[in-house]
Structure 1
Amino acid sequence: MLEHAIWWHIYPLGATGAPIRTEHGAPESRLRKLDAWLDYAVELGCNGLLLGPVFASASHGYDTLDHYRIDSRLGTDSDFDHLVAQAGARGLHVVLDGVFNHVARGHHLVTERPELVKWDGDRPRGWEGHDALVELDHANPDVLDLVVDVMRHWLRRGIAGWRLDVAYAVPTSFWREAADRVRAEFPEALFLGEVIHGDYLGFVTDSTLTTVTQYELWKAIWSSLTDVNGWELAHAIERHTVFAERFIPNTFLGNHDVTRIATRVPKATTVVPYLLMTLPGAPSIYYGDEQGFTGTKTETWHGDDEVRPPLPATPSDLSPLGAHVLHHYRSAVALRRRHPWLATATAEVLHKSNEHLTFRVHDGGRALTVDLDLATPGVRITGEGEHLHIVAHA
């Protein structure tokens, strides 16, 4: 599945307009608002939905209260089953966000099963300074049993796999045992670990997870375009090639945790999708990036709001200002679909300077050459019957 995966990444609580830090109110079937966007995802060229948290939580979704219950702000079990069925009818695989490193301080385990969480003296240990989040004790076998049971439960409900939040903070031995037990029933289950820095290859090898998030490449793309520095991107592509020889990295230009690519490099909004789709990996497109949505991530109480906005009721309600960006995303995805071998290809840097970068992506007798002008910026793609030259103006 991963060789052909292109995900549309959605943060459901934000996309459906659910309240985050205010009273949740009565249950509401907001998940069904996504029905209107499924054909849009297919027309974009995606075959998967990478969903942010959907389980009962205290606020933003990453503070889970119950891993077995759909958040009432999003609806009920039947609303979730409906979404999976509607997605499946369109060939869209659903991947859920599993927050298994920590739980909300209000989770029943903290008081009812205190041996399952970590403690600092007489106080549950907060995760990375977040007092509202309590770390699970992954050395306790009952925590492993819980995580495996949750994973199986939702796989039995029709999902294709899991994005594992904060995977880097959990022992790789824990993931290895969990994945082994889940694969005994679901051998094709996908496990995408969130890993920001560190030894990607070692993590995948030791954990046996399917893949990890390629933050190195994400950072190099926007940073090189911002600073007009082809050397950084060339270095990242060379490292990316080494990773791609062993696994298929999850590549992306944005997600729910970072400032929007259109905010970081507005002059290159129509160029970056071609980089994403020509490099090896399994790409994900964060909802709205394909429309040129802007938004800044800040370290404040409401710092995620701009990058997790509500979608309009239907795609027809989108601003026409995003049509030009959407055209290039669709074109880039179509290019990728014409050349599915790119997912597992080899990228080779041919030329690098501050303002220009040329790399060749090849697989046996098939090849594409990408010439990137970081100063303009623009990109030209040639080979195998393709010849594209895209120039974006600020």
Structure 2
Amino acid sequence: MTSWIDHTIWWHVYPLGFTGALEAGPGHRLSRLEAWLDYAVELGCNGLALGPVFASETHGYDTVDHFRLDPRLGDDAGFDRLVAAARRRGVRILLDGVFNHVGRGFPRFAAALREGPDSPDARWFRPRGDDYDCFEGHRSLVALDHGEPAVAEYVAKVMRHWLDRGADGWRLDAAYAVPPEFWRAVLPQVRAAHPDAWFTGEMIHGDYAAYVSDSGLDSVTQYELWKAIWSSLNDRNLFELAWALDRHDRFTEAFTPSTFVGNHDVTRIATRLEEPRHLAHALVVLFTVAGVPAVYYGDEQAFRGRKEDRPGGDDAVRPAFPDSPDGLAPWGRPVYRLHQRLIGLRRRNPWLVRARTSVEHLTNEAVALRSRPREGGPGITVLLNTGPDPYRFPLPLEGLRVLDSAEEKEPDDPARVPPYGWALLGTPPGR
């Protein structure tokens, strides 16, 4: 795996929504992101993970031209300016590659419809009855045939093209729907030209470790941990979190997962949690366990939004942002500051990217975790009290000091955590 990813924390943005481009005509809107790069860096992020930016019919996941920037966002020159502005700040760029399916306006598909099922273009797609196979029942998303060599050649060419232009890696949309052997054929072609590129796949379900091994990807999205974080807090059942963290720990033996508590496809974490005070607990877990973390734009301001299963049901979690950070409301600042504190702690302990995490104490509403370097040595003890009463952890904590906590001042008894509180304990420098 490339080394730079060990120090990367992504700020994940859905550009068509962020820039207000979804229902707009052509325009140079990608440049609006440049005004937010310093904000992302101040947050603690040094990576910009972009949702779809290529020419599409509607929401970006119905691509019609992988070699052209969406006209609603701008053109190649605008992309180059964004890459240059990011480079000046040491910010990496991750692109969203939709290579499982395309929009019905994709030229090869239009040719297949025109020329018939026996044409060379038709071999790019899987026939199904009088039409062609689609992605999860969405007729507007035509599934590619990943057994067709020309498709693999095309995808490799697209990936190299944008890496040549300055991207650093790819998120591979709907990877769980793509046979892993497809990536096993494509990625060596891309890595030959860009050995430092990083590739993560979207895996909602399935055998994560096996898919990484069989595909040659560097990482996949850790949806199991995402689900366990919010549902264990809502259900007052931290045993679910402990179970998921045990699984997570085993995943990290095979690869470094892509971790998150929010993204463009799910209800906002601030909305999903039934108790607002649990938001800090979710963030503490995210930033103290192994993985390459991503912060979905707006989550760092406690934005709310519910995803709904209907046309336009993603709009609430893909909103437009102001022209600059000055346009944000002030009440999101405490959550932004909490992100900064936790990301800062992670930066001071870079071994966390590959940490081993064990459960040291567990009840329905209280858990003590210990994250430690894989090669051994002092680690960080995480105390979470998610209940309404103070809780004293029955653990030997001698010699540890409070690195950060929900309390404004260092507690007299670090084992005692207040209601809905948390504390991070570690060994003082020089010990």
**TM-score with structure 1 setting the length:** 0.96
Specify the alignment match of 2:346 in structure 1: 336
Pair 1:236 & 2:248 matched: no
Q: Indicate if the aligned counterparts of 1:173 and 1:206 stay in contact, CA closer than 8 A.
A: yes
Q: Indicate if the aligned counterparts of 1:190 and 1:210 stay in contact, CA closer than 8 A.
A: yes
Q: Which runs of 5+ in 1 are unaligned?
A: none
Q: Which runs of 5+ in 2 are unaligned?
A: 112-120, 408-418, 422-431
How far off its partner does 1:366 sit?
Answer: 2.5
1:38 maps to a residue whose letter is: L
Q: Which moved more, 1:9-18 or 1:180-189?
A: 180-189
Q: Indicate if the aligned counterparts of 1:220 and 1:233 stay in contact, CA closer than 8 A.
A: yes
Q: 2 CA distance for matches of 1:185 and 1:125?
A: 33
Specify the alignment match of 1:247 in structure 2: 255
SS in 2 for 1:33: helix
Of 291, 299, 317, the residue aligned with 1:281 is: 291
The within-5 A match list for 1:204-353 is: 204-265=212-273, 266-353=276-363
Q: 1:178-209 deviations in whole A, cap 9, x for unaligned?
A: 11111111111110100011111101110110
Q: 2 CA distance for matches of 1:40 and 1:201?
A: 35
Q: 1 CA distance for matches of 2:388 and 2:327?
A: 32
Pair 1:177 & 2:185 matched: yes
SS in 2 for 1:271: helix
1:50 maps to a residue whose letter is: A
SS in 2 for 1:176: helix
Of 367, 378, 382, the residue aligned with 1:357 is: 367
Q: 2 CA distance for matches of 1:148 and 1:119?
A: 23
Q: 2 CA distance for matches of 1:294 and 1:136?
A: 35
Q: 2 CA distance for matches of 1:282 and 1:34?
A: 22
Q: 2 CA distance for matches of 1:379 and 1:232?
A: 20
Specify the alignment match of 2:136 in structure 1: 128
How far off its partner does 1:40 sit?
Answer: 0.4
Q: 1:306-365 deviations in whole A, cap 9, x for unaligned?
A: 000001111111000101111101101001001001111100111121111111001111
2:35 maps to a residue whose letter is: A
Pair 1:60 & 2:72 matched: no
Q: Which protein is bigger by CA-based radius of gyration?
A: 2
Q: 2 CA distance for matches of 1:29 and 1:99?
A: 22
Q: Indicate if the aligned counterparts of 2:385 and 2:420 stay in contact, CA closer than 8 A.
A: no
Specify the alignment match of 2:380 in structure 1: 368
How far off its partner does 1:376 sit?
Answer: 4.2
Q: 1 CA distance for matches of 2:81 and 2:390?
A: 42
**TM-score with structure 2 setting the length:** 0.87
**Change beyond 3 A, Cα 1:325–1:377:** farther
**Change beyond 3 A, Cα 1:80–1:377:** farther
How far off its partner does 1:377 sit?
Answer: 9.5
Q: 1 CA distance for matches of 2:92 and 2:224?
A: 26
Q: 1 CA distance for matches of 2:294 and 2:9?
A: 6
Q: 1 CA distance for matches of 2:371 and 2:390?
A: 18
Q: 1 CA distance for matches of 2:303 and 2:219?
A: 27
Q: Indicate if the aligned counterparts of 2:104 and 2:110 stay in contact, CA closer than 8 A.
A: no
Q: 2 CA distance for matches of 1:360 and 1:393?
A: 19
Q: 2 CA distance for matches of 1:7 and 1:289?
A: 13
2:92 maps to a residue whose letter is: H
How far off its partner does 1:19 sit?
Answer: 2.5
How far off its partner does 1:282 sit?
Answer: 0.5
Specify the alignment match of 2:147 in structure 1: 139
Identity within the alignment, %: 53
How far off its partner does 1:379 sit?
Answer: 11
Higher RCO (CA 8 Å, separation ≥ 6 residues)? 1
Q: 1:248-307 deviations in whole A, cap 9, x for unaligned?
A: 100000000000000011332233222111011100000000000000000011100000
SS in 2 for 1:32: helix
Pair 1:150 & 2:158 matched: yes
SS in 2 for 1:366: coil
1:367 maps to a residue whose letter is: G
How far off its partner does 1:380 sit?
Answer: 11
Q: 1:109-168 deviations in whole A, cap 9, x for unaligned?
A: 112222211111331222111010100000000000000000000000010010000001
2:252 maps to a residue whose letter is: A
Q: Which moved more, 1:203-212 or 1:115-124?
A: 115-124
Q: 1:76-107 deviations in whole A, cap 9, x for unaligned?
A: 11001100110111010000000000000111
Deviating 4+ runs (over 6 angstroms): 377-384, 391-394
How far off its partner does 1:393 sit?
Answer: 6.6
Q: Indicate if the aligned counterparts of 1:191 and 1:210 stay in contact, CA closer than 8 A.
A: yes
Pair 1:7 & 2:7 matched: no
Q: Indicate if the aligned counterparts of 1:380 and 1:388 stay in contact, CA closer than 8 A.
A: no
1:44 maps to a residue whose letter is: L
SS in 2 for 1:69: strand
Q: 1 CA distance for matches of 2:65 and 2:239?
A: 46
